Structure 1
Amino acid sequence: MDKRQDLPADNQWDLLVEHGEWLELGFHALWIEGDNEEELARLLRGDLDARVECDLRTLARMDAEPDAMGVWIGPHAPGWTHAFVFGMWSFHPAIRNLGKRRVFEVQYTGEVGEGLEPLYLNYDGEQLGDVTPPFEEGGDMVLPDYRPYTVGLELEGKRMREHVHLFFCMMGRVTGRFADRDWWTAARAFYRIPREAWEE
């Protein structure tokens, strides 16, 4: 079977609700090509001296100012790192600073917010376009090279939370690993990012 057409054992949205603490209300996720978590945190200008190893439950209970910047980052699959970033917008200068590597970006602001942005692909400071699955089989894609990964992930007639599930499925196919309970409950590194680090 073509690995680009695999499906996860568990619904990705359901896992997010079960283990993601507050993230069903909104999140900003990056799948970053590369294994060096500390180097990626440095490029995001995280405070490397204030690294905290924690799981999401602990992170949810940490005191932080509203809109404080930070990154919770750790291993995803061989050759890939995953991060949830906080206090950033889509294509933020910090994300543009990640260099010559593919960075896939999903931002969800909740069903009462602006919703779900396209699944963007960034590379070397440029947003190349999006790899959002088409609404119908064979439908248009901005970056058609990624069409083989979209089979069975068509968006038409589905609710936003189902779109989140399908975006996570898409990234599982691209990176070779779907999110599972171990993925959601693992400890990762949290770095605060000083707001002045990205002031123009």
Structure 2
Amino acid sequence: MPGGLVNGQWALLAARGFGRMFAGTWIEGDDHEEIARLLRADPAQGVSCGLDEAMREYEPYAFREVVWLGAHAPGWTQAITIAGPRLRTDLLAGRRYVQVVWDALGLGVHDLYYSDGVTADRLSPRHIAGPWPFREYTDGLLPHGPGLIDVSGTGPAQATGSLGLWLENWLVLAGRLSGRLMEEEYFQTGRRLYALPL
């Protein structure tokens, strides 16, 4: 893993139950209620809770959409999908963001969804070292590792080999861009749980 992060960002998320699906969106801005409104949530309906309580609602692929949203680092908010599909990033037009998606029953690691505040796009994990708006945050993150297999076998995808490298790359990049990597204390922070309209 890059930078010796074998038990890094993904290990923290997997230990909290995100093994089947994780969709995290790091969004520029400190006004969490404004961001909730952009996502079509009613800020008055948000329920304050920690991640353990939020995970009682964990339901990947559900026909409902629930996010745990709140402060990440100065100038940044994070929204973690607890139920349903990944957040619609088109609702965040004009803001910088990155979105990391892990889907064990699908592709495994998705392309990184991102916006530099002007242009929104997607980036393949194989092109992380190429020219793109957030290239300055990729130092030491490699698209391939020696002997790593690029595809998953049959059955659910596992965050190992190239899939594990790519997933950790995206999570580290999100932490560098926003100014904070996730750590144990991070998950003790209270945020608000919002139901979003489908």
Q: 1:78 aligns with which of 74, 78, 95?
A: 74
Q: CA deviation at 1:48?
A: 2.3
8 Å CA contact 1:30, 1:106 repeated in 2: yes
1: distance between equivalents of 2:137 and 2:76?
17
Q: 2:176 aligns with which of 139, 149, 173?
A: 173
1:140 and 2:140 are equivalent in the alignment? no
2: distance between equivalents of 1:46 and 1:35?
16
Amino acid in structure 2 at the alignment position of 1:84: I
1: distance between equivalents of 2:122 and 2:57?
35
SS in 2 for 1:53: strand
Under a length normalisation based on structure 2, what TM-score does the superposition of the two structures give? 0.77
Q: 1:32 aligns with which of 22, 27, 30?
A: 27
The residue that corresponds to 2:94 in the other structure is: 100
Q: 1:190 aligns with which of 161, 168, 193?
A: 193
SS in 2 for 1:183: helix
* Higher strand content, 1 or 2: 2
Q: CA deviation at 1:174?
A: 1.3
Gaps (5+ residues) in structure 2?
Answer: 149-160
Q: CA deviation at 1:176?
A: 1.3
Amino acid in structure 2 at the alignment position of 1:151: D
Under a length normalisation based on structure 1, what TM-score does the superposition of the two structures give? 0.77
1:47 and 2:45 are equivalent in the alignment? no
The residue that corresponds to 2:158 in the other structure is: none
Please report the RMSD computed on the Cα atoms of aligned residues, expressed in angstroms.
2.9
SS in 2 for 1:61: helix
- Give per-residue Cα distances to partners, 1:5-53, cap 9 Å, x unaligned: 98879611111122x22x1211111000000001000110113232111
- Matched length: 180
Q: 2:120 aligns with which of 103, 127, 147?
A: 127
Q: CA deviation at 1:114?
A: 2.0
Q: CA deviation at 1:169?
A: 0.9
- Identity, % of aligned positions: 29
